[in-house]
Amino acid sequence: MNNIIDTSVKEVQKLSIQLRPKMLDELGLLETIQWEATQFEERTGIYCNVKFIPEEFDVEHERSSTLYRILMELLTNVYRHSEATKVSILLEKQKDVYNLEFSDNGIGIKKEKITSRFSFGLISITERAHTWNGNVEFISKKKKGTKVTVQIPY
């Protein structure tokens, strides 16, 4: 029984770290995105270009978690489905909104998948953005990749 409890506690801790890694609190969102993109590139061989405008800015705790989780879902989708060789990530702090533009050069997402109630990853991205009264736009062209724009007001 103790072994089961210990294993369960370790799994919950692992899950908690994956949802909001300590790095996010210690280094901030921009450094964490850069690190995750580098790790993703090393694991998958998919090139990641990351850009921030301005080059340095802070994102408050709650919205940084949301943007981080959205980005992780996008990277997961690229790895699982897109057959892409390149990903571009742009995070901008504009006057009253964080603007995340994510694009890949993969096979694209069929329109039916974007609107499907069974596309749980895409649904979670949209729901996370809507938590902050944000918007998500998916633009995809067959064999020309996908562009996802997420805007979260602050």
Range of 45's domain?
A: 2-153
Is the pTM value of this prediction over 0.75? Answer: yes
Q: Note the pLDDT of residue 19.
A: 58
Within the chain, strands assigned E span 47-53, 86-93, 97-104, 135-141, 145-153
Quick: pLDDT tens for 63-88. Answer: 999 999 999 999 999 999 999 999 99
Given a cut of 80, whether residue 51 has pLDDT beyond it is: yes
**Which of the pair, 13 or 146, is modelled with greater confidence?**
146
pLDDT band at 13 (very low <50, low <70, confident <90, very high): low
What DSSP designation does 107 have? S
CATH number at residue 129: 3.30.565.10
How many domains does the structure of the chain reveal? 1
